A and B are shown apart, each in its own frame.
Chain A
Amino acid sequence: MLQIYCPHCQELRSEEEFSCGGEAHIARPLAPETLTDEEWGDYLFFRKNPRGIHHEMWYHVTGCRRYFNATRNTVTYEILETYKVGTQPSIVGEGV
């Protein structure tokens, strides 16, 4: 069970309080109607599945009810950082 630092509550809390929201930093296209089916399909359905560094959203559902992002190593499950929505991760790169 993971232990996750909520950047809003500023506390390390147990995974039980959170739910994972999948890949972070996916911007919704500003003009969806101008996209081809394929482009829209990419936005809708295609997600990274890296071995190693992954940026993902978490929701502190039984805590502050706020979303934030985490940089997690998908191999070791180590959470390298958490940061607020709208800010950028300090750790980037894919693979280990």
Chain B
Amino acid sequence: MKQLNRLPNAGRTNPDQNINFTFNGKAYQGVMGDTLASALLANGVDVVGRSFKYSRPRGIVGHGAEEPNGIIQLGSGAATVPNLKVTQVELYEGLEASSVNGWPTINFDLMGIMGWFGRLMPPGFYYKTFMYPQKLWMTYEHFIRKAAGLGKTPVEADPDVYDKLNQHCDVLVVGAGPAGLVAAREAAEAGARVIIADEQSEFGGSLLASTQILNGVSASQWVADMVEQLKRYNNVQQLPRSTVFGYYDHNFLTILEKRTDHLGLSAGKGQRVRQRLHRVRAKQVVLATGAFERPLVFAHNDIPGVMQASSVSTYVNRYGVAPGSKLILATTNDNAYQTAIDWHTAGRDVVAVVDSRQSPNGELVEQVRALGIQIAVGHGVIEAKGGKRVRAAMVAPLNESGSAITGEVKRLPCDLIATSGGWSAAIHLSSHTGAKPVWDESIVSFRPGDSKQQECSVGACNGTFGLRDGLIEGATAGAKAAQLAGFGLGAVQFSPVELVELTQEPQQALFLVPHSRPPSRAPSQFVDLQLDVSAGGIELAVREGFESVEHVKRYTALGFGTDQGKLGNINGMAILANALNQSISETGTTIFRPSYTPTTFGAIAGRDVGELFDPERYTSAHRWHVEQGAKFEDVGQWKRPWYFPKVNETLDQAVNRECLAVRNSVGILDASTLGKIDIQGPDAAEFITRMYTNSYLKLAAGKCRYGVMLKEDGMIFDDGVCACLSENHYLMFTTTGGAAGVLAWLELWQQTEWPELQVYFTSVTDHWATATVTGPNARKVVAKVCQDIDLTPDQFGFMDWRDGTVAGVAARVFRISFTGELSFEINVPANYGRYVWEALIEAGKEFDITPYGTETMHVLRAEKGFIIVGQDTDGSMTPADMNMDWIVGKNKAFSFIGQRSLSRSDTLRDNRKQLVGLKTIDPNIVLPEGAQIVSDPKQPIPMSMQGHVTSSYYSANMGHSIALAVVKGGLNRLGDTVYCPAADGATVPAQIVSSVFYDPKGERQNV
């Protein structure tokens, strides 16, 4: 297999090591050291994708993170990776890649027909066309997404493993080009802990493709020497293949390190970490992220074969690939002339250099002249000709400012147009810190704005494009950063790098090469290749009234692609500024935000997946529940038994059985998950009384009291029982989900408002296992395993608690009830939880003791009208709304939390939603929870909503369905019929009844 474009000089690749790969199903060969881009170019593959909107054929333009066109899907199946740039994929044996755009194939694209209608698809086309009628948007969107598409996400679970590393360092150097390397060396020499990260496979940045001599050796050799030197410092961590993708507050930066991607998909086989996310807190940061060459914008500049000048040089020098044979170089600056020299040196034909400046005479220009290469000064390439590959350039003389064509247009045959409109500093990371970029006319680029963090930018990303100056800046910054981090005196330790740098003449600012026709009439002059934004489109946006750069960006989609406009943005803003008759500074730039390049979700998740996604909390009897075949429900992080099905039992059957068992004999519930806060201190009773709506000042040891806690706005926040264990010692129960919030709430008031109250809080939720034995036979069961507590009702009454032993284990037994039945809540140290649980099961056998779960718990409490905070309340319910006025102490000396709010005009208002029961007319219909309630189902829409259903179950004990609901003025509407429209269009009539369905006098718990 011949690689047409492979040069004899292999650059940094190893031509002896062939690598086989396929692209869009076709087999090719590359060599070790290639990127997918260089290998495709070596094989003469011109078209690598289709454009997003018009589906025009597109070729490789760049050589790094800026590449807008070569977007591919790697592999297939579970490990497939979408949206990679061909320029950033290292070639490995067996690599399979396909274009993300183009259907059925990139060379014959059905959607290409869109291109013919380009003028019918102006910016905002989707908004204008597809937004109306709105109902059809879903249909259109589906079509557009299929047509546009940007790769496929894998549907299987990710087979790879990822991890995260939290790191601290003194100096983080971002970018290992010349400036970054010397910065790292200076900081390391001063003794600072240094991390130096670079996104490329090897350090060196621009020097990897440079012909420059440094310290008397080649650029590659100099880089190799530097890397060696850095290795000798044990305080330096080198991170190649590592992209610093985000710069966050307080010098926190995130680095994505790709550890096995270059070896192939799933090369780690689920064992080795594929990618690692470094979360770095750096004392000082040196940004040395380089610059992007700015393409020239001219008609049909998107035809494959139009490339960045620096990219052409990179392919020639670094990869030994010449992406064509006959080059035309279009430039506005001296710097790009190097590409003509490189092309010429590679033995290929330079047709002409087309320079927009009228009389360039810099040293590089003279070198090119001396090679006998034709230079068309004061000219521009105004249009590319060709279909799937450039065939010619249309070249015309330009006026001095480059704004108009002044003479005859000539056609120059060629197959490659390299363009350079100067360089744009890569200010992305600096922008992440909130620094506002500043336009600098003298370098025709933005520079980083005033630093908002402990960082500085050096070299090209600071607008310092010269190598010598960049090296000086880097070294100085490295020493200074170390000093600021507490190392060294800030002076540069190493002697300056020796090099000969050619003097350059000023460049010309040229953001749009004129055409014989205006942008609106000329063939498309593409600004953003990935999203097909043209100069004409930007001007149209201005004509339609858009003025802000942020609005134009969103309207035209400029910079919205996966390349984030790394090539197109500056040209686009300049074209916008021109259309608005403003300067570029006045127009400003859009804000760069993380991520710098797309980041794998897997790396962000790290090990926090599957079982480790969130901690799971188990009660001490958990294994018993599992062994009994319990179904579980997540309550916060807790796994609680939901119900205990017998063989072939459905949820409903199991719950009905469990409910009947509790009311007719005895049931047992694992209530260990309830929050428990141990409260001690001489002011404990006073403090607790301020937190609850009722008083605890007179609660004697051995007694319990149910309380409701409000937020200061008067709304119910949590509820539970609080027991007085002894003088100055209380145990507060909270809801399972509210435990942490209640603890924080108590701490808040004690620490910030009443520090004079001596009271201390300790969470003891996990210290105790709780088994609730409930039902008419509960006393008989407990009596079998508890001999040292007098269980008789007159000695151990409802809302009492006693110390004792249960099954030989020290226990606290509470007579509190959430079922309305005779109940004993038995608390033992958690380590004895399962033992005591099994002892109770054994003791209960003769009464057919029935374990039940949260579902039955819910039904039983709803039969009693007991609320669940967070289900029957939603943060807008007062105790009065819940028909629980009895819980609010009317004569408390201290204005407890929320008390004042209970007399606000809004909380006193009539017609608030109030808790009532609902009984469906058809006893078998169970209303859906959340169902809306109306008074008149025939009322025209919009109907007046009366409230909603908060809890709804079938009650086997009642023999009909029951529901709790909040209804406007509901307590005065008992007996009324209301209606619940169901999702299927039916309307369910129900009668408003008391919220207490079962044992309204509460006699059963009090025996």
Contact = CB atoms under 8 A, between A and B. Distances in A.
Interface residues of A, number: 28
A86 B900 contact: no
A92 interface: no
B698 to A, nearest CB: 22
Contact of A41 (B248, B252, B899, B904): B904
Interface in B710-731: 712-713
Contact of B252 (A1, A33, A66, A67): A1
Interface string A2-15: 11000000000010
B753 interface: yes
Interface string A43-87: 011000000000001010100011100000000110100000110
B100 to A, nearest CB: 33
A21 B753 CA distance: 13
B452 A33 contact: no
Contact of B249 (A1, A27, A61): A1
A96 interface: no
B895 A31 contact: yes
Interface residues of B, number: 23
B895 A77 contact: no
A85 B752 contact: yes
A86 B900 CA distance: 25
Contacts of B900: 32-33, 35, 40
Given A35-B900, A57-B752, A59-B748, A76 B250 contact: no
Given A28-B753, A86-B755, A67 B249 contact: no
Contacts of B751: 66-67, 85
> Which of the listed residues A31, A35, A40 has the most CB atoms from chain B within 10 Å of its own CB?
A40
B895 A33 contact: yes
Nearest to A25: B752
B904 A37 contact: yes
A76 B895 contact: no
B792 interface: no
A54 to B, nearest CB: 15
A22 B901 CA distance: 20
A37 to B, nearest CB: 5
Interface string B901-922: 1011100000000000000000
A51 to B, nearest CB: 13
B362 interface: no
Contact of A44 (B281, B713, B903, B905): B713
Contact of A3 (B281, B712, B899): B281
B747 interface: yes
A44 B249 CA distance: 31
Contact of B901 (A14, A44, A85): A44
Contacts of A44: 712-713, 901
Most buried by A among B249, B281, B434, B753: B249
Nearest to A4: B250
B744 interface: yes
A28 B712 CA distance: 10
Given A59-B748, A85-B751, A40 B250 contact: no
Contacts of B713: 44-45
Nearest to B906: A37
B249 A2 contact: yes
Nearest to B714: A44
Contact of B752 (A2, A3, A67, A77): A67
Contact of A76 (B281, B434, B744, B748): B434
B565 to A, nearest CB: 26
Contact of A85 (B250, B452, B755): B755
Contacts of A85: 751-752, 755
Interface in B883-907: 895, 899-901, 903-905
Contacts of A41: 904
A40 B252 contact: no
Nearest to A40: B900
Interface string B438-460: 00000000000000100000000
Contacts of B748: 21, 59, 67
Nearest to A31: B895
A32 B710 CA distance: 15
Contacts of B904: 37, 40-41
Count chain A CB atoms within 10 A of each CB in B250, B747, B752 and give the residue with the most: B752
Nearest to A67: B751
B753 A65 contact: no
Contacts of A79: 250
A2 B453 CA distance: 12
Interface in B481-522: none
Interface in B731-778: 744, 747-748, 751-753, 755
A32 B747 contact: no
Contacts of A65: 747
A59 B895 contact: no
B899 A77 contact: no
Nearest to A75: B434
Q: Which of B248, B249, B744, B900 has the most CB of A within 10 A?
A: B900
Nearest to B743: A65
Contacts of A66: 747, 751
26 contacts: A1-B249, A1-B250, A1-B252, A2-B250, A3-B252, A3-B281, A14-B281, A19-B744, A21-B748, A28-B712, A28-B753, A31-B895, A32-B899, A33-B895, A33-B900, A33-B903, A40-B900, A44-B901, A59-B744, A59-B747, A59-B748, A76-B434, A76-B452, A79-B250, A85-B752, A86-B755
Interface of A: 1-3, 14, 19, 21, 27-28, 31-33, 35, 37, 40-41, 44-45, 57, 59, 61, 65-67, 76-77, 79, 85-86
By Cβ-Cβ distance, the 4 closest A-B pairs, closest first, are: A32-B900, A3-B250, A77-B249, A32-B895
Given A31-B895, A85-B752, 10 more contacts: A2-B249, A32-B899, A33-B903, A40-B900, A45-B713, A57-B752, A76-B452, A77-B249, A79-B250, A86-B755
